[in-house]
Structures are given as structure tokens and as C-alpha cells.
Amino acid sequence: MTYIQETATDSRARRNVTVLVLAQAVLGAQMPMIFTIGGLAGQSLAANACWATLPISMIVLASMLSATPMAALMQRFGRRAGFFVGATGGVLGAVIGAYGLYLANFHVFLAGSFLTGIYMSAHGFYRFAAADTASEAFRPKAISYVLAGGLAAAIIGPQLVKATSQAMVVPFLGTYLAVIALNLLGMVLFLFLDIPTPPAPSADAPRGRTRLELLRTPRIAVAIICALVSYALMNLVMTSTPLAVVGCGFDTGDAADVVTAHVLAMYAPSFFTGHLIARFGTERIMGIGLAILAGAGLVGLSGVALEHFFVALVLLGIGWNFGFIGATTMLASSHAPEERGRIQGLNDLIVFGGVTLASLSSGGLMNCSGGTAQEGWAAVNLAMIPLLVLAGGALIWLVMRPDEA
């Protein structure tokens, strides 16, 4: 590729990155909002406290189930169409969730949470959309910049929780009304997205590898494992955090502040993660991310003072950033263009399948594995160990392979 061609390509990519950064900031703000109050609202509505985090699990489950259809939709009709569908799911989910809160009906609230998962699925493709029009050199930076848009979401979301969670007679109802507004505003942004719709393949066009063949590719398999573990551990611990913070004697505002620090830590490193990957390679950055996730678990086990929650959740966010961006970059560089929709949908199906199990486990570990919030929080952090061993082992295996040296 010549210098002129690369500049022209990345000019379009930078415009798309700008749109996606804004979408990450505006629409992305609903995720820390829902993850802050979802478990607390579920705890107030569910007959059994063990199911407190089931609303969040429903979001992740729907995201998992939507991943393959969403990828196919974007492959056929383009990214913009998929992102509009996702924002529509966010609106409907918030409307039904708000209605469930108004009725004090846990099942209606769960239905709204499930529809919100359609948005979460589309949200997961922002990072892939950033890479679509980027050159190979700009690709890791584009992915990082889009995820960096979460910095604004980390501030906007929890502050909206503080302003809206008790603003109406029904707790948390105002927060879900704010989520509706965020999705409607986000829809406008996608009008400015400029990513060509992939052309329909001709009869003699290369079809690429099958899903099974893709999964047998070492770099793809390890990328998926590390993405799954990074995201699942982040979700496992973050989902329990508001319950643990409140259960240990602090208030909802403190929980929102801890989530703010966590989400800032998730996205702040994105300004330089792409540069680090370009310099040191994906494997090293992913390995550092897994080590930082282990550090988060150790801090979580060391105490339940407010500063312990802050430090553990900050480390959790940084570890997720390194592990997840590294895995996404590895995956994006390991498949052909005609395999894009197939592998991206499969990746998110597997990743969010693991995240669904993590979020389901989170409430049970937190509320039903001990007699106190402290014991539940310890159980959540101990549950990180086997997944970290899995991802670390897979990464070491990849690095030690002779043909990957």
C-alpha cells in the first residue's frame, strides 16, 4: 500500500472512529447505569436474593443470542443498520424495564433486560467497525480510540444514576427513562457513519474457512479464550460490586463512584493500548492484562474497606482493557475479509456465552455462598482463579508454539 493510499483510507477511518467514539460515550453510558442499578433493582424485586443479578444475566444472555444474527445483519446490510437495530433494542428494553419497575414485577423487568441485550450485542461490534476501514497500521489504534470513548460514558452514566435513581417515587425508574433518551440521541450519530456495506459474494468468490476451521486456528482460538476470560471476569466482579459495596455498609452513591472509577480504568488506557500493542505485540499486552486481573482479585480478597473496592475495580478495568483490546486486535488480524461476519459473530457468541455464565454466577456467589456480604465478596474473587489459569495457559501455549515464534 502506498503512502497516498494509506492516508486516504485512514482519513475515512478517522471519521468513522470519531462517530464511534461519540456513540461509545452517549449510548455506552447506559451500560454503567444498568450495571450499577440492575442488581440493586433485581434484589428489591426478586423473591429470592440469589437471583438479584438475573436482570444483568438476561442482558448478557440476549447479547450472546443476538451476536450471530447481528453479525449476519451487518454483513448483509452494513454496520449502520445493525447499530440502529441495537439502539432500538435499547429503547424497548428501557421502556419495558421502566414499566416493570412501575409494576414492581420482576418478570416484566427481566423482559426489558433481555431486550437491552440486543443493544449490548450491537455495542460489542463498535470495536470491529473501527477496524473495517482502517489500515493495518492504524487498526489497533482505531480499536483503542473507540474504546476510549467509554471514558465519557464512565462519567456520564454513574452521574446520571446519582441524579435519577431516587428522582421519582419508584426507585430507579428515572434512570431507565434517562436510558431511553440516550438511545434516541445515539441513533442520530449513526447517520454520519461511513462504512461501506460488504458486497454480496459472487458465485466464484472465496468463501473462507468454516467456523470449525476458524476455531482450530491457534491464534483465533487463543484470542477468543482470552477475550472470554477478560470479559467474563470483569463482568463477574463488576456485577457483584454494587451489592458488595452496599452490603458492607456503604450507600448507592458510593457504589456509583466505585463503578465510575472502574469504567474510567476500563477505557483510559485505550489512548495508549494500541501503541503498546504496535510496539510490544499482542501476546505481551494480553499477558500483562491477565496479570493485572489477578492483582484485582488479590486486592479484593485483602479487605472490604471502600479503598479496597476502588483499587480492586480500577485494576479490574485496566486488566480488562489490555486483555480485551489485545484479543480483539489478534482476532481482527487473523481472518480474511470474507470471514469477517462469520468469525466476529462466533467470537461474540462464545465470549458473551461465558459472560452470561459469569453474571449468573455472580449473584449466587455474592448472596448465597456465605452468611455475610464479606464472605460472598471473597467467593466472587476466588472464582477468578480457574479462568485466569485457563487464559494464561492458552497464551503460553501459543507463544511456545514453534510456528508462532
Tell me: pLDDT of 137 over 50. Answer: yes
**Greater model confidence, 181 or 256:** 181
DSSP-derived secondary structure letter, 216:
T
Superfamily of domain 8-194+208-404: MFS general substrate transporter like domains (1.20.1250.20)
Q: What is the pLDDT of residue 6?
A: 42
Degrees to nearest 5, angle at CA 35 with 232 and 173: 155
Q: What is the pLDDT of residue 5?
A: 44
pLDDT band of residue 404 (cuts 50, 70, 90) is very low
Query: What is the separation of C-alpha 384 from the centre of its chain, rounded to a whole number of angstroms?
Result: 17
DSSP-derived secondary structure letter, 340:
H
DSSP 26-94: HGGGHHHHHHHHHHHHHHHH-SSGGGTTHHHHHHHHHHHHHHHHHHHHHHHH-HHHHHHHHHHHHHHHH
For 163-206, what is each residue's pLDDT tens digit?
A: 888 888 888 899 999 999 999 999 999 999 888 877 766 666 66
Tell me: pLDDT of 208 over 90. Answer: no
Q: What average pLDDT score do residues 275-296 get?
A: 93
Q: What average pLDDT score do residues 263-279 get?
A: 85
Tell me: pLDDT of 405 over 50. Answer: no
**Greater model confidence, 76 or 378:** 378
Helix 139-148 to helix 270-280 angle, to the nearest 10 degrees?
160
Q: What average pLDDT score do residues 257-278 get?
A: 86
Tell me: pLDDT of 111 over 90. Answer: yes
Task: Assess contact for 326 and 279: CB atoms under 8 A.
Answer: no
**Greater model confidence, 405 or 107:** 107
- Cα torsion for 176, 180, 185, 191, to the nearest 10°? 130
For 3-61, what is each residue's pLDDT tens digit?
A: 334 445 578 888 889 999 999 999 999 988 888 888 888 888 888 877 877 888 899 88
pLDDT band of residue 2 (cuts 50, 70, 90) is very low
Q: What average pLDDT score do residues 65-81 get?
A: 87
Task: Assess contact for 71 and 53: CB atoms under 8 A.
Answer: no
Q: What average pLDDT score do residues 228-236 get?
A: 93
pLDDT band of residue 110 (cuts 50, 70, 90) is very high
- Percentage above 70 pLDDT, the chain: 95
If you average pLDDT over every residue of the chain, what do you get?
87
Degrees to nearest 5, angle at CA 268 with 262 and 27: 75
Q: What is the pLDDT of residue 183?
A: 95
* Distance in angstroms (rounded) separating the CA atoms of residues 144 and 189: 19
Task: Assess contact for 129 and 195: CB atoms under 8 A.
Answer: yes
